[in-house]
């Protein structure tokens, strides 16, 4: 899958041995042709594709990582990396978000220090709690629908530790929802907007609608459900939620 971000950073994702082409040479030719077309499109629209600022990442499934595969040649003028930040979310070539979680937790710790400074300068608890929700929690769970499904148990414990730290500091209610529940609520709200707004940018990724005359129990949606489920994927995760 080849995707182009708003900054024209090229992201080349290949899962294991790709079926994109028969060999590395033809893969390189196909992707180079795509980049040339994108560069022409950018020039036509008074934009510029800077290859020196673009990155390439080859993503492989972890269970296939031990297989001896020869990676294709690097694209001309584009650096190949194993770690890439996409719209504020850091992923690796193994689709791990542990680096993202560590980075976010570190930034939240810095924000907690700022809140302690504000408390020493006399800011009241109500205002401090508002700062915690709007800065720390917002930073902690930014774009969580995209990366939460790829977290490991250690990653989730680190995220939950930030919330518990807020409870101990009197910035978050002790009976408030945990981070996992907050993510679940955010996912549900986003999925509801997605179902009701056809102009949403993610609407085209939804499964096809299904319609039948069987008198079955009510379902939360009318989307068709596939046999294979990938709970790391936000849409799959929410499509199968509360359906059985």
Residue 24 is predicted with a pLDDT of 56
- Asked if residue 85 and residue 7 are part of one domain, the reply reads yes
Q: What does the alpha-carbon distance between residue 12 and residue 145 come to, in Å, rounded to a whole number?
A: 22
- Indicate whether 158 belongs to any domain: yes
- Asked if residue 68 and residue 37 are part of one domain, the reply reads yes
3-state helix, strand, coil in the chain (%, to 5): 50, 10, 45
Residue 13 is predicted with a pLDDT of 37
pLDDT top residue among 60 and 139:
139
Rounded to 5 degrees, what are φ and ψ at 22?
-75, -35
Q: How many domains does the chain have?
A: 2
Local confidence band at 238 (pLDDT 50, 70, 90 cut-offs): confident
Q: What does the alpha-carbon distance between residue 62 and residue 96 come to, in Å, rounded to a whole number?
A: 9
- Indicate whether 224 belongs to any domain: no
- Asked if residue 84 and residue 8 are part of one domain, the reply reads yes
Residue 192 is predicted with a pLDDT of 84
The pTM assigned to this predicted structure is 0.76
Domain end residue (candidates: 32, 63, 92): 92
Mean predicted confidence (pLDDT) in 197-211:
79
- Indicate whether 231 belongs to any domain: no
Domain end residue (candidates: 162, 182, 202): 182
Mean predicted confidence (pLDDT) in 223-236:
75
Supply the mean pLDDT for the chain.
80
- Asked if residue 116 and residue 53 are part of one domain, the reply reads no
Paired strand residues for 3: 11
- Asked if residue 139 and residue 80 are part of one domain, the reply reads no
- Asked if residue 86 and residue 105 are part of one domain, the reply reads no
> Residue 105 is part of which domain span?
98-182
- Indicate whether 165 belongs to any domain: yes
- Asked if residue 24 and residue 9 are part of one domain, the reply reads yes
pLDDT single digits (tens) 16-50: 333 333 455 566 677 778 778 888 888 888 988 88
- Indicate whether 199 belongs to any domain: no
- Asked if residue 119 and residue 83 are part of one domain, the reply reads no
Does residue 8 register a pLDDT over 60?
Answer: no
Residue 28 is predicted with a pLDDT of 65
Q: What does the alpha-carbon distance between residue 236 and residue 225 come to, in Å, rounded to a whole number?
A: 9
Read off the tokens for 210.
């299904």
Does residue 195 register a pLDDT over 50?
Answer: yes
pLDDT top residue among 179 and 9:
179
Domain end residue (candidates: 158, 182, 206): 182
Neighbours of 99 (CB within 10 A): 14
- Asked if residue 64 and residue 118 are part of one domain, the reply reads no
pLDDT single digits (tens) 69-115: 667 777 778 888 889 998 999 999 888 999 999 999 999 999 999 99
- Asked if residue 137 and residue 167 are part of one domain, the reply reads yes
- Asked if residue 85 and residue 13 are part of one domain, the reply reads yes
- Asked if residue 41 and residue 22 are part of one domain, the reply reads yes
pLDDT single digits (tens) 122-152: 999 999 999 999 999 999 999 999 999 999 9
pLDDT top residue among 235 and 224:
235
């Amino acid at each position: 899958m080849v995707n182009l971000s708003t900054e024209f950073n090229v992201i080349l994702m290949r899962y294991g041995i790709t079926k994109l082409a028969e060999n590395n040479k033809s893969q390189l030719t196909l992707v180079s042709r795509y980049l040339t077309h994108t560069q022409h499109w950018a020039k036509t629209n008074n934009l510029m594709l800077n290859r020196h600022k673009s990155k390439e990442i080859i993503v492989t499934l972890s269970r296939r990582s031990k297989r001896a595969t020869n990676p294709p040649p690097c694209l001309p003028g584009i650096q190949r990396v194993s770690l890439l930040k996409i719209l504020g979310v850091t992923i690796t070539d193994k689709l791990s978000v542990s680096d993202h979680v560590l980075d976010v937790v570190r930034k939240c710790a810095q924000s907690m220090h700022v809140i302690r400074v504000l408390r020493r300068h006399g800011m009241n608890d109500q205002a401090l709690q508002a700062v915690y929700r709007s800065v720390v929690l917002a930073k902690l769970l930014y774009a969580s629908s995209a990366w939460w499904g790829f977290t490991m148990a250690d990653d989730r414990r680190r995220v939950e530790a930030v919330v518990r730290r807020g409870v101990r500091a009197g910035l978050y209610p002790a009976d408030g929802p945990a981070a996992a529940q907050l993510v679940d609520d955010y996912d549900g709200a986003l999925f509801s907007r997605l179902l009701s707004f056809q102009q949403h940018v993610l609407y085209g990724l939804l499964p096809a609608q299904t319609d039948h005359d069987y008198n079955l129990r009510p379902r939360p949606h009318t989307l068709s459900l596939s046999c294979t489920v990938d709970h790391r994927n936000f849409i799959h995760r929410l499509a199968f939620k509360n359906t059985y």
